[in-house]
Structure 1
Amino acid sequence: MNGKRSRLIIVAAAGTLTLATAISAAAATLPAGSVAGAADAHMLTQTVHVDTLSPAQRLVSFDTTRYGLAQRQTSYESAAANAAVAKAAAQKAAAQKAAAAKAAAAKAAAAKAAAAKAAAQQAAQEQAAQQQATQQAAQQTTAQPATSAPSGSPQQIAEQMLSQFGWSSSQFSCLQPLWALESGWNIYASNPSSGAYGIPQALPGSKMASAGPDWQGDAATQIRWGLSYIQGTYGSPCAAWSHEEADGWY
């Protein structure tokens, strides 16, 4: 019996030494300065100094402590792995967000550049069209011969103006007797009974002011108004002469 007790004491002592060695090794694997490492080391130190336990209880305590250390080590490694995964995910999300912002900025810059290019092209087209219109107008002005003011007798002036109203010179054969009958081609001819005045016998004479302010004494102004009246009322001098011959007035 004494021999068995001696062997148990020896085993317990060996277990205690082994426990102390295991505690040192386990503490070395924990992160330096970590709260968990400090707490575990403190707990294990307290366990080692529990002298009130029997050798068998100390062996049980050693196994329990070693199992707890293994669990805590596994928990720490799992937490570290989870933290690493979370950090990698955060970095990936940040990279994706930065890439999306960069793509959006590039797209906006491209759209702005395209709009500016389109506006420049439209402005260039409008400027080119305006220049072309100006050149065409200048060419037309250059191509058209300068129209000289009609001169000569009232009959000569009237014959020169016929083409301005789209009539041929043959219309003068009707215009000449028409106004010869109305006024004798006299720019100052006045009808005392009706108030008609001038070569075309405008009624009243002030109507001819629409052709020029000098209507009272300028043959060209009176003739221009008279031809405009004939065109608007009868269509041609010959048609007006036909009405004159039929009704005695035009």
Structure 2
Amino acid sequence: MTRISVRGVAVASATAVTAVGAVVGMASGSEGKTTQTVDVAGATLLAEVPSGAQAQTISDNIGQQASAQQASADAAAKAAAEQKAAEEAARQQAAADAQAKADAQAKADAEKAAKAADDKRKADEAAANRSKSRSAMSAVEDSAPPVSVSPGSVQDLARQIVGNDAQFQCFSQIVKRESGWDYTATNKSSGAYGLVQALPGTKMASAGADWRTNPATQIKWGVGYMNSRYGSPCGAWSFWQAHNWY
């Protein structure tokens, strides 16, 4: 597009006026007067002056460029606003997630503390109940009259209770090694007690409250234990020989 030269327009206009005046002077008969010459070079600047259509086109183009620049600015502002809104939404979501996580952790901690307190309460109650049971059993045991027997008589009791001689021999082998036929024998390290070294000794209470002082009660419990776990005293003796315990 040809640029508009303001100076050129002014010069061209002045030259055009001069040229027109010269023509008019000649037409009026001023033959004897010297006429002014037309500045052709200056007149050619009129060619640079845009026509009405060209001027309109230039104006339209300038308007379109301004509109495009404004649209670009509006789009950039809109994108910045959307990005800021997205960042704010992400920040709020992160804060909400962090709060939810903290609430969940606090709830879990509270539930854990409540469970620990409940478990402790139950454990304390169970310990108290066991203590009461032991106290009651001790009272029964203490009230049981002691039995005065010799090792030989204890073996005779065992022979009578076991019945079968072969099974008695197996039973005898175990008792001899576990307690030496001492019905008050106590293992200081484990607490096992009695002829068959029941662990704990209170297990024998299922055969009688006088388990601590009555060898017959211990024998009955021992035979029952061997029968239930190994099938017989001889089965228990076979296991004992392989493991040194039963």
TM-score (norm 1): 0.44
TM-score (norm 2): 0.45
- The structure with higher relative contact order (CA 8 Å, sep 6+) is 2
